[in-house]
Structure 1
């Protein structure tokens, strides 16, 4: 079986969608019946490392619409058994390729990318879809509110967590000193900080921090991640008199990510627009208690509260109570996290493909 995957980014990308796409390509390449996975990235901000042998990564297509379309058209000159569109903005191109390839077409649905109705030139291709693989029921339902596709066309394929890459470990002395956190209780949010995405819950935590400090004066709030909204958040922290209690770490290196999670006594992200919230799984895999939102995809990442505290970000007292409860919990990896582990992700993906390709229909 050969698979063509159109993506915004994957290997050499940064953020949740890139991570998901890497896992998707890795899982496809690990399947014995898959001969090759051709991945075409739209952007490539960093070096593309860790590409499996069975993945042909067309890095030369990145950075230019002309090169991207050209690479896709050249790839479609050969036969594929499955075409995966890694972002709704790429659907017009993917749908055109499907006319050439005559194979099932799948759209990936991550979160806010599909929560609102796209332009007509994207919507007209929806009927070409064989399936939509959504990372959460919230995303599926928000998309279908405008897409009106048959329910049977959707399949849930939540994020995978590689438990062996995390685990319990002491707080890093180097990082404690870097951020001045020795002797302090630490709240952590790790998220992108673009001004267009003010839904991560950082504002809500900043606004609640003065109240929390009354009972826990040793509390510090570490905000990891970067974006053009960071200066506004820093100014807000200063206006609230929190400059001694809030640390903005900026973008962190992937190699230090797990150690940053382990700095935290609580990971907190009471957002309003998460399609799923993979960072919750990362925090939990490091044994860190978490606080997430009950009104977006975070609820599914936390298994309806089984894996962490759920709060209403629109209610300041709900946020406060959730953080206080989480601060009382021990550092421990919760039972039930294996629901999202790598073998289960691969099994769900295999089942999703099997529902589209009758046995024996794929090329060897």
Structure 2
């Protein structure tokens, strides 16, 4: 649109079948950017979307990404980098006058990056972060960036649900997310570990674990060892429709993680009036503001975790208040 500043947006593939919060939030961000800028998008990843504008570029492999970035004729007043791993591509676009913003999502931004990406950070004009926790962890690993401009920009997720449906008859806690060996910090082991104590108080309680990954076989083995097969259910990858159904049926979303930079799944639950169980060790508490929209515990505190799960699975005035406040906070 005439008069609008031009923006080049670098995204990972946003339609990955196992995509997480970065992809979901990226779709929302892309829509918002197009309302304010003349946007051209560059996608790196094998899962291409359908119906993209002809001006957008899809690079399914590293070699094609480097080739298309280097050979293209790029013009932009601003560059938005949606994932820190895409920083390595910046020099190949040859946009020395463009201002650069990078969105920091979570654990990948406080882990060591490749030399090219670390060097490219020196040219970033603003780091946007989804939480204060992400900002502090990121800057804590890179003291030479403590004077850099940062802005905390909490993520959003569409419009509020028209109503908060009642939960199902089964007192169930739902866990949503990848189960990868390299991400063995999301609280799956801790939740399974306390489930026998939960069952002592709530005999028909169930733990629903959605998602997949390399850690799943080890977690399934723990469930078998404890004889919990009737109470802990692995759902695998589920569709958006099934996810919505499970969120409506559960009594709470549980993700007592040690390293969430934000946790878009909390918003998905709060939108439907489902209180959340988060950790005191990461950004979950920023999202739900316990005890407003749920509870936060140290996942290493088994007694505290057991008590929190028991309360969140219960019916009554406390749960109804959490449900109302979760929707309000959303």
Distance change (3 Å), C-alpha of 1:326 and 1:339: closer
Q: CA deviation at 1:269?
A: 1.0
Number of aligned residue pairs: 320
Is 1:252 the counterpart of 2:238? The answer is yes
Decide which of 310, 320, 324 is 1:330's aligned counterpart.
320
How far apart, in 1, do the equivalents of 2:283 and 2:254 lie? 14
Distance change (3 Å), C-alpha of 1:265 and 1:10: same
Contact 1:168–1:332 (CA under 8 A) maintained in structure 2:
no
Decide which of 282, 291, 298 is 2:268's aligned counterpart.
282
Q: CA deviation at 1:272?
A: 0.5
Contact 2:107–2:259 (CA under 8 A) maintained in structure 1:
yes
Is 1:48 the counterpart of 2:49? The answer is yes
Calculate the aligned-residue CA RMSD, in Å. Answer: 2.3
Decide which of 185, 202, 214 is 2:200's aligned counterpart.
214
Contact 2:274–2:326 (CA under 8 A) maintained in structure 1:
no
How far apart, in 2, do the equivalents of 1:338 and 1:42 lie? 37
Is 1:70 the counterpart of 2:67? The answer is yes
Match of 1:7 in 2: 11
Which string of whole-angstrom CA distances, capped at 9 and with x for unpartnered residues, describes residues 143-197 of structure 1? Answer: 10122214451111121121346742356xxxxxxxxxx7521111011111111
Q: CA deviation at 1:57?
A: 3.7
Q: CA deviation at 1:330?
A: 2.6
Match of 2:77 in 1: 81
Q: CA deviation at 1:296?
A: 0.5
How far apart, in 2, do the equivalents of 1:286 and 1:312 lie? 25
Q: CA deviation at 1:331?
A: 8.0
How far apart, in 1, do the equivalents of 2:210 and 2:21 lie? 14
Is 1:21 the counterpart of 2:26? The answer is yes
Q: CA deviation at 1:44?
A: 3.7
TM-score, normalising length from structure 2? 0.89
Could you tell me which runs of 5 or more consecutive residues in structure 2 were left unpaired when the two chains were aligned: none
Is 1:94 the counterpart of 2:93? The answer is no
Distance change (3 Å), C-alpha of 1:317 and 1:135: same
Contact 1:6–1:94 (CA under 8 A) maintained in structure 2:
no
Match of 1:204 in 2: 190
Distance change (3 Å), C-alpha of 1:338 and 1:83: farther
Q: CA deviation at 1:257?
A: 2.0
How far apart, in 1, do the equivalents of 2:324 and 2:176 lie? 20
Q: CA deviation at 1:78?
A: 3.1
Match of 1:174 in 2: none
Decide which of 288, 297, 308 is 2:294's aligned counterpart.
308
Q: CA deviation at 1:321?
A: 1.6
Match of 2:181 in 1: 195
Q: CA deviation at 1:213?
A: 0.3
Distance change (3 Å), C-alpha of 1:235 and 1:153: same
Contact 1:166–1:282 (CA under 8 A) maintained in structure 2:
no
Distance change (3 Å), C-alpha of 1:269 and 1:119: same
Decide which of 148, 153, 156 is 2:152's aligned counterpart.
156
Contact 1:79–1:101 (CA under 8 A) maintained in structure 2:
no
Match of 1:356 in 2: none
Distance change (3 Å), C-alpha of 1:66 and 1:166: farther
**Equivalent position SS for 2:259:** coil
Alignment of 1:228-243 (within 5 A): 228-243=214-229
TM-score, normalising length from structure 1? 0.81
How far apart, in 2, do the equivalents of 1:210 and 1:266 lie? 18
